[in-house]
Amino acid sequence: MTIESTLTTFRERLGEVMDLHQAASVLHWDQEVFMPPKGAAARGRQLATLSAVAHRYFTREEMGRLLDELTEAADQLDPDDAKLVEVTRYDYERETKLPEAFVQAFALAQSAAYEAWVKARETDSFATFQPHLEKILDLLHEKADYLGYEGSSYNALLEEYERGMTVETLRGLFDVVAERQSALVEKIVNAPDPPDLAWTRGPWDEDAQWTMTLRLLQDMGYDFEAGRQDRSVHPFTTSFGARDVRLTNRVSPDDLFSALHGAAHEGGHGLYEQGFQEKDGRTPLADGISLGVHESQSRMWENMIGRSLPFWEHYAPVLRDLHPGRLDGITPQQFYQAVNHVQPSLIRVEADECTYNLHVILRFEIEVALMEGEIAVAEIPEAWNAKMKQYLGLDVPSDAQGCLQDIHWSHGSLGYFPTYALGNLYAAQLFEKILEDLPGLWDDVRAANFAPLLGWLRENVHRHGRRKTAVELIRDITGRPPAPGPYLTYLEEKYGRLYGLSGG
């Protein structure tokens, strides 16, 4: 076989695997958006079958043979094809390392743990969840051994969400963030004269809110010919190819801003997915680099843009028109204060930009301690509550509002949480460079002209797909590896001004 025909066969096989994954994504999207409750059992079986078939198809011997041939002939491939072979080989090796019996045992433990977690949270009983989490933890150690790692066994888990990231690197970043961010929160909590937010009280018309989200997405440059926004309980973004990227959102009559920020956030994810190159379609190159990089895109649009004063100079009048008689006399500055209100709280998903990373770092520290055997599962509540006090100054009244609040551990997704905080750090580091490259950015935002920003992101981030790792991407763009400085400076300057703190 010539190298060209090997490549053609390889791309065709890969395309078929991608088709299976994307078909599963359609079913999953439908499950969250339209499926009637009684469809759940059949849908679960369909999704399990599709993912098993995709796995079997991808990991069969033919794929290994094609990868071997192409890797051997790598110097004859053009750079795009060589990259595709390299990325696919990486995925292939990870997928073939886990024996099918282990994958099944893990899936069983996950569904039992999930059920126990739901019950444990309802009844505020950590003891109900504890044996299941212990089982999950045993299996995660086994998984780490199958996958292999250097240093901490936690590194094997991180790799799944943030390729190349390590506990050592994260500690270097997070220790600085935890110290400076909790000091900032403490100053804000003690600041005099908090803004009066009585005017934000609902109810707010739901249709008007939905109209606002569509308008914002349109302004951001989200392509409605290649996507749509629907309602779901938890907002998310999914893609069936770069020309069909779906967003979901929710509207609450009590909250004027949550749907708007949800649209900015999911819109950021969606623009990333719509920005992959046509020629990468049906290959693993048309995908986000990592969860952290994906989150950098959503958080940049949601926070750095959507929670900026120039943004509100444009959108305050728009909101006033959408809610006649309700917002007269409310200034852009008042909107700016309201969307940046800081309030330490127990629940991560309700946390503001200023306290969010602290929720993540607390979880990261507990996860590493669990994997490294420094604490036992039974000691989680105590460790959790101590860290909430240390970082956010809060007493935790119950495990339901503490260590039982998130679904992630019941899924066995240890290593996932850090990517949320990394997203914030990456976003700020990229944004610092964007402001250098686009000195007129704030004037553009004030005019809701987001084309220059989107153009920059397309050129520097989106079009590369998975050609680089997160560290390579950040270093190529900013000249430095990921660092905590830009995010902390951004927070300290912004909130220092908002809350009139001296010395930033």
End-to-end distance of the chain based on CA atoms, in angstroms?
Answer: 66
Which residue reads 């914002």 in tokens? 216
Token readout for 316 is 């305050």
What's the min distance (Å) between Cβ of 299 and Zn ion?
A: 7
Nearer Cβ to Zn ion (132/466): 466
DSSP 354-411: TTHHHHHHHHHHHHHHHHTTSS-GGGHHHHHHHHHHHHH------GGGTTTS-SGGGG
Phi, then psi, of 247 in degrees rounded to 5: -115, 150
Nearer Cβ to Zn ion (239/298): 298
What's the min distance (Å) between Cβ of 334 and Zn ion?
A: 27
Active-site residue set? 266
Nearest residue to the partner Zn ion, using Cβ: 298
**In degrees to the nearest 10, what's the CA dihedral of 61, 65, 68, 73?**
-160
Nearer Cβ to Zn ion (294/464): 294
What's the min distance (Å) between Cβ of 268 and Zn ion?
A: 8
Q: What angle do CA 211, 217, 223 make, to 5 degrees?
A: 120
Burial of 462: CB neighbours in 10 Å, binned 0-12, 13-18, 19+ = buried
On whether the CB atoms of residues 364 and 170 are closer than 8 A, the answer is: yes
Nearer Cβ to Zn ion (298/357): 298
Query: 243-282 mask for Zn ion (x: CB under 5 A)?
Result: ----------------------------------------
Spatial distance between the Cα atoms of 90 and 88, rounded to a whole number of angstroms: 5
Nearer Cβ to Zn ion (132/261): 261
Cα within 13 Å of Cα(168), Cβ side: 4
Nearer Cβ to Zn ion (155/298): 298
Nearer Cβ to Zn ion (128/424): 424
DSSP 309-349: HHHHHHHHHHHHHHSTTTSTT--HHHHHHHHT-----S-GG
- Identity at 439, one-letter amino acid code: P
| Interface stretch with Zn ion, choices 38-46, 213-221, 294-302, 381-389 (CB under 5 A) | 294-302
Residues in the chain: 504
Spatial distance between the Cα atoms of 292 and 471, rounded to a whole number of angstroms: 11
What's the min distance (Å) between Cβ of 292 and Zn ion?
A: 11
Residues 296-315 that bind Zn ion (CB under 5 A): 298
Spatial distance between the Cα atoms of 11 and 81, rounded to a whole number of angstroms: 10
| Interface stretch with Zn ion, choices 217-225, 293-301, 351-359, 371-379 (CB under 5 A) | 293-301
Residues 76-135 that bind Zn ion (CB under 5 A): none
Is there binding between residue 424 and Zn ion (CB under 5 A)?
no
What's the min distance (Å) between Cβ of 269 and Zn ion?
A: 6
| Interface stretch with Zn ion, choices 116-124, 292-300, 326-334, 387-395 (CB under 5 A) | 292-300
Q: Which helix (H) or strand (E) holds 14?
A: helix 3-33
What's the min distance (Å) between Cβ of 420 and Zn ion?
A: 8
What's the min distance (Å) between Cβ of 259 and Zn ion?
A: 15
Task: Please count the residues of this chain forming the interface with Zn ion, following the rule CB under 5 A.
Answer: 1
Residues forming contacts to Zn ion in the complex (CB under 5 A) are: 298
